[in-house]
Homo-oligomer: A and B are copies of this chain.
Amino acid sequence: MGQLDVEAAYAAPLVSDSPAATRMRRAAVEMFARDGFGGTSTRQIAKHLNLSPAAMYPHYKSKEELLYAIAVDGHGQILDELRSVDADTAGGPEQRLQAVVAAFACWQARHHEHAKVVQYELHALAPEHYRVVAAMRRDTVDIIETIVRQGIRDGVFTVEHPDDAVLAISSLCVDVCRWFPSRTHSDPVALGTAYAELALRMVT
């Protein structure tokens, strides 16, 4: 996979910030999260916004295009967040891992509807769109992987199978959107802190 794919994804004017397009994506997230991508039609989204189906067309030519914009938007937010948190964290791999896991779990909790669509409806993307999103997902996991490998090199992490630990840590963060909020957790920041502690335990 490449740097190039990812840069292309960023370079393309994929996620429009026009108020109309933003409203369409927001309504689609809500309806996809509730009824699934397969259970929602563009017509229903338009109706929800008191628009004619034709009014959607200049912004999103198909339901798949709308899903793609939602996925690029969500993955881009996660990636930006993790990169900036990682860059801003003073300290070694322990502090960086905790900061990045806290931010990831917190994003998934705070934006659990958007995250659900982002995580569970990727199979509905067209192959060329899926490739762009998959590259963004690999870049997200790479941030965690880089920290874990650094920790092993520094001798502060003792985990034997770093690939499995990276997989498990990512998976733990992703799954937050399935169940959040719950009886015991409704504060995204508190959840992030708890998960950062558990992720650190996995590798130390």
Name A164-204 residues within 8 Å CB distance of B. 164-165, 167-168, 171-172, 174-176, 178-179, 182, 184-185, 194-195, 197-198, 201-203
Name A138-183 residues within 8 Å CB distance of B. 159-161, 163-165, 167-168, 171-172, 174-176, 178-179, 182
A interface size (C-beta, 8 A): 35
Task: Say which one of A18-26, A34-42, A87-95 lies at the interface with B.
Answer: A34-42
With contact pairs A175-B172, A178-B120 given, residues A159 and B201 touching in the complex (Cβ less than 8 Å): yes
Nearest CB of B to A94, in Å: 14
Q: Once the chains bind, are B34 and A35 in contact (CB under 8 Å)? A: no
With contact pairs A38-B36, A194-B164 given, residues A175 and B185 touching in the complex (Cβ less than 8 Å): no
Chain A contact surface mostly: helix
Nearest CB of B to A116, in Å: 9
Q: How far is the CA of A39 from the CA of B171 in the complex (A)?
A: 26
Nearest CB of B to A195, in Å: 7
Query: Is A98's beta carbon under 8 Å from chain B?
Result: no
Q: Once the chains bind, are A172 and B174 in contact (CB under 8 Å)? A: no
Q: Once the chains bind, are B123 and A34 in contact (CB under 8 Å)? A: yes
Mind listing 10 A-B residue pairs with CB under 8 Å?
A: A36-B38, A36-B39, A119-B178, A120-B120, A120-B178, A164-B198, A165-B198, A167-B182, A172-B175, A174-B178
**Complex interface: chain B residues within 8 A of A159 (CB):** 201
